[in-house]
Structure 1
Amino acid sequence: MGDRWNIEVDRSLCIGSAQCVHLVPGAFRLDSGMQSHPAEPETDANERILAAAEGCPVEAIMITLLGSGEPVFPPEE
């Protein structure tokens, strides 16, 4: 069985660029305030979601392993 992730968007950082929505339209949505949020906060590990997090211009998307809370992105320094 593969990893499960918890996806969060820091709304204090999100600038509404919508890059995540364009990269993974089913995983992210913009709300009426033009800020991103995950369609499903708990999801199977997915390379496209990771690419969206890595491509966020303000690193507002955080991914952790479901259960342990271990960071996937951004990685711990």
Structure 2
Amino acid sequence: MTELWTVEVDTSVCVGSGLCAANAPECFSLDTSGRARPPEAPVVAADEVLEAAENCPATAITLRKATGGEEIFVP
């Protein structure tokens, strides 16, 4: 079975660098103010998504398993 993650972005600390959207464009988009927007539905676990969270300069991205909520990456 494919593992799914939920993606959260703390927009109060996001600086709009766009690195997340560059690393994982299938997962992240930027809103009109340039801040990251996560997908509304869980995403398939992928190295690119984890890399986007790890490389966020504002440490604004949290990843959790969609089932059970176990933390994958918390800034």
TM-score for the superposition, normalised by structure 2: 0.90
Match of 1:36 in 2: 36
Cα deviation, 1:4-62, whole Å, max 9, x if unaligned, reads 10001110110000001111122111101110012354111111000000000111011
Structure 1 unpaired stretches of 5+: none
- Write the letter of the residue equivalent to 2:60: A
Task: Work out whether residues 27 and 40 of structure 1, in 8 Å CA contact, stay in contact via their aligned partners in 2.
Answer: no
Match of 2:45 in 1: 45
Structure 2 unpaired stretches of 5+: none
Q: CA RMSD in A?
A: 1.4
- Write the letter of the residue equivalent to 1:55: N
TM-score for the superposition, normalised by structure 1: 0.88
In the alignment, structure 1 residue 70 sits paired with structure 2 residue 70: yes
1 CA distance for matches of 2:60 and 2:41?
Answer: 14
* Identity over aligned pairs, percent: 39
SS of the aligned residue for 1:34 comes to coil
Task: Work out whether residues 8 and 41 of structure 1, in 8 Å CA contact, stay in contact via their aligned partners in 2.
Answer: no
